[in-house]
Amino acid sequence: MTRAATSHVNGVVTAVGVALLYLPLLAVAVLSFNRSRFGVGWQGFTIDWYARVLHDEVVMRSAWNTLLLAVGSTALSTLLGTMLALGIARYRWPRRIEHALATLIHLPIVTPDIIFAAALVVAFRALRALTGLFELGLETMIIAHVTFQISFVALVVRARLETIGPEIEEAARDLYAGTFDLVTKILLPLIRPGIVAGALLAFTLSLDDFVISFFTSGPDSVTLPIYIFSSLKRGISPEIHAISTIIFTVTAMLAVALQSLTRKCET
């Protein structure tokens, strides 16, 4: 009786929610094919802006930086996060240490990104004073991204590790497998879906980040989101629409891949 009426309301609210999420993305995508150089009035279909973006040196360098940042930080954080997950899950730590480790891992997740960024800026300044290194640039950005990615990778991998019973390890031990063999030949192949999912998540998070990149970047390490943000100060342009649409498309593909992978992990 009332179920139908309620679900009707739910459907309407869902439509509103989807509109709230997709309206801005739709506007960007549609206007990226608009011939008009200024303003938002429709003046015919064109793909010129995409061609122009691909030949724009500054944009291409920013795209390259974005990719370097995402790939570099993902590689490093996947390694560190996986090791962390293995070390935490496969050893019975004293309760207090286990608690401290859990707090440390959750710290990057509960810290508002602007505080996280501020702390990193302070860290790099102090380290620069101490060592002379850590000049703001792509390297500091990679360090910054790794710092928030580690946690996500560790949590995803640990979730996968928990699905593996101890019998397999015990069997390997009984057959005189050393720790190295145990990890490389038994555990790693078993948790590989978890590692891949963690890496994909880390990659997506890197592309999604703006605030932390913005704080820790130098003049030569402009990424696409930073490029867009600073261009907006000079007003909107069709090239920015095109770049944004490309970013959205890549993200959507990553999200689809991530979801199908997570589902595979669960089964």
Partner 1 sequence: MTESARDRSGSSLRSGAGVAGAIGWIAPGVLWLLLFLGIPSVLLLALAFATRGSYGEILWTPTFHNFKKLAGFGIFGWSSDYLWITARTLWIALATTLACIMVAYPIALFVAARQPRWRSFWLLVLMIPFCTNLVVRTYGWQLVFSLVGKSAIYPGPLAVYIGMISSNLSFAVLPIYTSVERIDWSIAEAARDLYGSRWTVFRHGILPQTIPGLAVAAIITFIPCLGMFVVPDLLGGGRYLLLGNLIQQQFGPSRDFPFGAALSLTLIIATLIALRLYRRPAEEAGL
Residues from 91 through 150 that contact partner 1 (CB under 8 A): 91-93, 101, 104-105, 107-108, 110-123, 125-126, 143-144, 146-147, 150
The reply on whether position 254 binds partner 1 by CB under 8 A is yes
How many residues sit in the footprint of partner 1 (CB under 8 A)? 100
Is residue 166 a contact point for partner 1 (CB under 8 A)? yes
Residues numbered 63-82 forming contacts with partner 1, rule: CB under 8 A = 80-81
Dist CA 68 CA 255 (whole Å): 20
| Per-residue binder mask for partner 1 (CB under 8 A), 27-66, x = binder | xx--x--------x--------------------------
Q: How far is the CB of 54 from partner 1 (least distance, A)?
A: 18
In this structure, how many other beta carbons lie within 10 angstroms of the beta carbon of residue 30? 13
Strand partners, 45: 34
User: Which DSSP symbol is given to 34?
Assistant: B
CA distance linking residue 207 with residue 201, whole number of Å = 10
Among 207, 212, 222, 265, binds partner 1 (CB under 8 A): 207
Work out which of 51, 60, 99, 208 binds partner 1, going by CB under 8 A: 208
H helix runs in the chain, sequence order? 2-31, 48-54, 57-89, 95-110, 113-131, 138-161, 166-174, 179-181, 188-208, 211-216, 224-232, 238-266
Three-point CA angle 256, 24, 235, nearest 5°? 125
Binding flag, residue 197, partner 1 (CB under 8 A): no
- Is residue 192 a contact point for partner 1 (CB under 8 A)? no
Burial of 111 (0-12, 13-18, 19+ CB in 10 A): middle
Enumerate residues 219-248 that contact partner 1 by CB under 8 A: 224-225, 228-229, 232, 236, 240-241, 244, 247-248
86 contributes a contact to partner 1 by CB under 8 A: yes
